[in-house]
Chains A and B, each alone.
Chain A
């Protein structure tokens, strides 16, 4: 029983690693304050679930379809938001996630609205059924490691350097001959692609989704994980995801009703966020944590 519980936590931690590392690509490496990440997660979850339920499409095709759709939406989202920066971009993307949530709630003929989608099949990849918790945990691990490696390669590549240059100073990046709009749109598309994979992974694990899974609360949680772990650091995102998944778990065992425990969980996230921002603004493992400059300056 306890193993099942721990494995469940591990599966959820893997999901958040996927979501935080992909969000960090946009926020930490490109400087796009994207509060609409959860919408891409939702697009992935709903696309692969609907394809599996209505047409019996295999998991991996459904997941890829959802991810591609999310990437296209992410790229297109760059057009209306091109001139928005910082807080304004955050508001614009938050608006986008609210629109997606509303569509999920109100397009009843497609999504069943608030009733959600029950009976989503467990995945099967090339005939190998992932139908038990230990198998799903292994699947989650493989997926999270794969996403981590891909994103590490991307951020260390010349393209990744361009993204960081845009974050530090878009004008300076332009003066170096970089097409900054195109780079930002591609970063948002890749970030959306990976978030959507996370959505498919989660939907086929819990086998039931409804629009409440993709609310602003979830956005805040993933955002907090990125900030606590450290922006512009993939390792930081992993740390943030694991820490914030595990930290509130002991609260479950306190003799309080679940309504109070829920509130305490939110309070704990808030407390941790305040402490990190006050004492370690770069996050637990922020950018340049392992880099040394000759003038002894670390940021």
Chain B
């Protein structure tokens, strides 16, 4: 069996003195699309933030390509090939769409940058149309696309998404989920925290359910058929 791209073992992390995750284990194969679902406050976002070095580390290991990410700072983790799209989109309001993408690829050669931008414009044609528009005045969905596009400028090996469908209308949500699937198909491993459990389970290759900082269930899209999952996360 192939060695996993990311392996989390007995991880305990949190914020300052507060422990949120109480010993979770996860294994992410290269090319997988992982969904992390669970109720509010269960520690889903903390799990991806931990991979990205944004939490206090108490115990456990986060091995990514044979390196223990828990020993790295956030800016060093990015250089290892991990990208993170935070909850709430966070685009640079005062810059144009294109400038936001440029910042995402600040360290690239001009030609490579151009080529990657074209790829992102192909993925999100609306961004091409609005390339000279001020990012702060885009719609929520467009800002989410820009935020994902900016993260893709580095062509990461692992893309972490924190609630990509948050606050979007159903049609835009569909589009975002379809694009995430496309990004994954193109070869990027994706780890996504999502409240929309139904959609997340539909597109993922593997899902983790986190409850009170512990893994409550692991499985494929078939998790959606389990009675408990149906009752708790899919509205019966």
Give the complex CA separation of A287 and B103 in angstroms: 18
Residue with the greatest number of chain A CB neighbours at <10 A, chosen from B52, B90, B91, B132? B90
Q: Once the chains bind, are B94 and A168 in contact (CB under 8 Å)?
A: yes
Q: Once the chains bind, are A175 and B83 in contact (CB under 8 Å)?
A: yes
| Interchain CB contact (< 8 A) of A176 among B73, B103, B134 | B103
Per the 8 Å Cβ criterion, residues 118-135 of B in contact with A are 130, 132-134
| Interchain CB contact (< 8 A) of B94 among A172, A287, A295 | A287
Q: Is A260 an interface residue (CB 8 A)?
A: no
Given contacts A171-B90, A176-B106, A179-B73, 5 further A-B contacts (CB under 8 A): A175-B52, A177-B74, A295-B137, A297-B133, A297-B136
Q: Once the chains bind, are A168 and B93 in contact (CB under 8 Å)?
A: yes
Give the complex CA separation of A84 and B85 in angstroms: 24
B79 to chain A, nearest CB (A): 6
Q: Once the chains bind, are B78 and A297 in contact (CB under 8 Å)?
A: no
Q: Once the chains bind, are B75 and A174 in contact (CB under 8 Å)?
A: yes
Give the complex CA separation of A150 and B195 in angstroms: 49
Q: Which residue of B lies closest to A232 (CB)?
A: B94
Jot down 8 A-B pairs with beta carbons below 8 A, ordered by A: A164-B92, A171-B90, A175-B83, A175-B90, A175-B151, A293-B133, A295-B130, A299-B136
Q: Is B5 an interface residue (CB 8 A)?
A: no
Q: Is A158 an interface residue (CB 8 A)?
A: yes
Q: Is B104 an interface residue (CB 8 A)?
A: yes
Give the complex CA separation of A165 and B94 in angstroms: 10
A23 to chain B, nearest CB (A): 20
Q: Once the chains bind, are B94 and A299 in contact (CB under 8 Å)?
A: yes
Chain A residues near B83: list those with CB within 8 A: 175
Give how many A residues have a beta carbon under 8 Å from the other chain's beta carbons.
22
Q: Is B165 an interface residue (CB 8 A)?
A: no
Q: Is B54 an interface residue (CB 8 A)?
A: yes
Q: Is B84 an interface residue (CB 8 A)?
A: yes
Q: Is A278 an interface residue (CB 8 A)?
A: no
Q: Once the chains bind, are B75 and A178 in contact (CB under 8 Å)?
A: yes
Q: Once the chains bind, are B91 and A172 in contact (CB under 8 Å)?
A: yes
Chain B residues near A293: list those with CB within 8 A: 96, 132-134
A132 to chain B, nearest CB (A): 45
A163-199: CB near B (< 8 Å → 1, else 0) gives 0110011011011111110000000000000000000
Give the complex CA separation of A149 and B132 in angstroms: 28
Q: Once the chains bind, are B86 and A161 in contact (CB under 8 Å)?
A: no
